[in-house]
Chains A and B, each alone.
Chain A
């Protein structure tokens, strides 16, 4: 019974990691930008859910319908105004996205004084019994969302004309441009989609966690590990990597030592990279 409990808690945790990592990996794979500010979109989603709930009494499971498009627009704007200018300089990308992280955190600090904000909805503490194991409802929603987003993105990228353009750019930007694909537009839409997914993750996390200006970092560090583990640019790899990481963390916390959880999954990460440098689902080194 305990093994099942740990496995389920690991999968639910993995769903969180996966949902945050999907958007990060999308930008990695297509735009080739290491977005250190990705966690700040998660943070914005959490505060957005809090505001929507306290100001307009809109439940987070509804407010994501408004907040995700807003996140998309912010992402498009940032790509067009900021990221676009540093596409060819990886060091500058790090400075710029890290700068954005600081800016977003500082703005949140101004409005919150650093105090946590909890979105108080009944679902936050709700759980149901599955074969004698307590399953958290909000975490299950996040896991299901991660699966749905993964499936939707994979289907879209494989079967739509726009998806073909995205894949073409991720393989060879210059050739795709010569073939008439509007690379800047694809980049902007991709960055916007990444931000929107992160905002959705934040909104869905709001009933579980207290939003603070720096909470994005807590989620983005494991998300980076998931991206590398699952394979750079692989959406499916993000889901599988996230679930794998969640399970590793849950079992190592339960049977080794809770304080060594991160050490265990970073060790596994190093081993995987040594054996397969492109990650579990990556085809080529990016």
Chain B
């Protein structure tokens, strides 16, 4: 009981301190940005500490690279990028407030997780500032009717539909043609559940046999999840999660000798981190639905210089598609800013809604055209497949596939 009272005291003190920190000084800017400014400050909300710090730091690199690529300016203004560390939704609120009131942010962007995006964007709305979402996926984020909300990257439902389209289009014919048995394994947060719900509905519409399992993204044992899937004996095992739980599921499946005809990872599972965690044998021939790929055909992603820029800047490979997605989002926002008649929300919103860039016009092979809810209609995803030499290559759709590459399916 002493623990609980101690934690309560600790939490209260932390919140109090955070509250004091965000309200102690007079703001430099009230966020009511009218008229031209010579410096445009973009506040980026990402997790730089906590369990998702790795993803947040990759996003930071992506944003910085995109600003550097643009020469550090847009529409004649110098771009100042300031970061707020938001490992939790509460921190997203206090850091968003800090970036607006102390750093004078003219726009906010981020994040990495749904909860952060939800919290931060509402702060931006209160201050009449645009919110640019680059990496968070949950569809519900744009269903709140916020006028300041624009998402440059994909939604959860796109990952869901792409994974099911791929299964129906490519795996089903290779696995006998008839309705398949599919086990959907998802992390139990809003992100995983949102994807699984759409997948389940689409699969049931196709007449497939479906079973759904869930696990915690921070679980330290997923044997029960793997045994549930094994008991169902699926043709296809679809795993939606983050890198760590995807790795643990893959490793446990290998130990439990669970090897369905095809495994499809969704929004994870195509990174060197997973390769290092589970080893080459466990990954070869597995598929991953992902944002973008360095191996994608030039016609799919003509603006694919990100990877070389990243290596040149940081001396190592990017970790998955997190940084490239952030890079694409920042690039898109700088183009919006370039075309805007001012720096206030109305001008930036008008510019965003007037954007009409065809597929391939921005990095990752995407274009830019927002619908009424602020979603980018011109985001497209692709499927990669791990090869036995430790590289995930683009294999689907055919127009995105790397030279001479196609999905390889080993029917049982």
Residues of A within 8 A of B (CB): 2, 5-6, 9, 13, 16, 34, 90-91, 94-95, 98, 105-106, 109, 112-118, 120, 124-127, 134, 136, 208-210, 212-214, 218-219, 222, 224, 249-250, 253-254, 257-259, 261-262
Q: Which residues of A contact B48 (CB under 8 A)?
A: 109, 114
Q: Which residues of A contact B57 (CB under 8 A)?
A: 113-115
Kindly state the interface size class of chain B when it binds its partner: 35 or more
Q: Which residues of A contact B378 (CB under 8 A)?
A: none
Q: Are B277 and A134 in contact (CB under 8 A)?
A: no
Residues of B within 8 A of A (CB): 2-3, 6-7, 9-10, 48-57, 188, 213-216, 218, 220-221, 223-225, 227-228, 231, 243-244, 247-248, 251, 254-257, 273, 276-279, 281-282, 319
Q: Are B188 and A259 in contact (CB under 8 A)?
A: yes
Alpha-carbon gap, A250 to B243, bound state (A): 23
> Could you say which of A5, A209, A253 contacts B225, with CB atoms under 8 Å apart?
A253
Alpha-carbon gap, A127 to B253, bound state (A): 11
Q: Are A90 and B228 in contact (CB under 8 A)?
A: no
The 10 closest A-B pairs by CB, nearest first: A114-B53, A253-B224, A114-B54, A94-B6, A9-B223, A118-B277, A127-B255, A118-B276, A115-B54, A13-B221
List 23 A–B pairs whose Cβ atoms lie within 8 Å, in order of A's numbering.
Answer: A6-B223, A6-B224, A9-B224, A13-B223, A114-B48, A114-B52, A114-B56, A115-B54, A116-B54, A116-B244, A118-B276, A118-B277, A125-B251, A136-B255, A210-B243, A210-B247, A214-B53, A250-B221, A250-B223, A254-B227, A254-B228, A258-B216, A258-B228
B39 shortest CB reach to chain A, Å: 28
Q: Which residues of A contact B257 (CB under 8 A)?
A: 134
Q: Which residues of B contact A13 (CB under 8 A)?
A: 220-221, 223
Q: Which residues of B contact A254 (CB under 8 A)?
A: 224, 227-228
Alpha-carbon gap, A2 to B55, bound state (A): 37
> Could you say which of A9, A34, A208 contacts B3, with CB atoms under 8 Å apart?
A34
> Could you say which of A113, A136, A253 contacts B54, with CB atoms under 8 Å apart?
A113
Alpha-carbon gap, A98 to B224, bound state (A): 32
Q: Which residues of B contact A117 (CB under 8 A)?
A: 276
- The closest CB in chain A to the CB of B247 belongs to A210
Q: Which residues of A contact B2 (CB under 8 A)?
A: 34, 90
- The closest CB in chain B to the CB of A228 belongs to B3
> Could you say which of A91, A115, A218 contacts B6, with CB atoms under 8 Å apart?
A91
Alpha-carbon gap, A116 to B256, bound state (A): 24
Q: Are B221 and A249 in contact (CB under 8 A)?
A: yes
> Could you say which of B49, B188, B215, B227 contacts A105, with CB atoms under 8 Å apart?
B49
Alpha-carbon gap, A213 to B51, bound state (A): 7
A217 shortest CB reach to chain B, Å: 8
Q: Which residues of B contact A127 (CB under 8 A)?
A: 255-256
Q: Are B227 and A6 in contact (CB under 8 A)?
A: yes
B374 shortest CB reach to chain A, Å: 29
Q: Are B10 and A212 in contact (CB under 8 A)?
A: no
Alpha-carbon gap, A109 to B221, bound state (A): 24
Alpha-carbon gap, A240 to B3, bound state (A): 22
B111 shortest CB reach to chain A, Å: 15
Q: Are A2 and B231 in contact (CB under 8 A)?
A: yes
Q: Are A113 and B244 in contact (CB under 8 A)?
A: no
Alpha-carbon gap, A226 to B114, bound state (A): 32
